[in-house]
Amino acid sequence: VVIPILNWETATFRAPTLGLLLFASIAICPALLLPSSPCMWLAGITFGYGYGFLLIMAGASIGMSLPYFIGSLFRENIH
């Protein structure tokens, strides 16, 4: 199921658009409890070690921060 979607993304979008789409999906998927590893694979395959690493690290850092900030909004309701 994942491989056809990855092939479709690489065939449909150009590199800058694909980079933005991958960044957004790597950042948003963990907040929605979805795995972002297929997007990380595609970023590494498409952009190589250097740019792929930077794209993944930037997206993952926002993806880890987003649930924290969402949770901090509801902190007062828990205590």
The SS3 assignment for 33 reads coil
User: Domain extents for the chain?
Assistant: 2-78
Mean pLDDT of 46-58: 95
Report the mean per-residue pLDDT for the chain: 90
Q: Residue with structure tokens 């963990």? A: 30
Read off the pLDDT band of 76 (50, 70, 90): confident
Q: How far is it, in rounded angstroms, from Cα 55 to Cα 23? A: 6
Cβ contact 38:6 at 8 Å = yes
This prediction has a pTM of 0.82
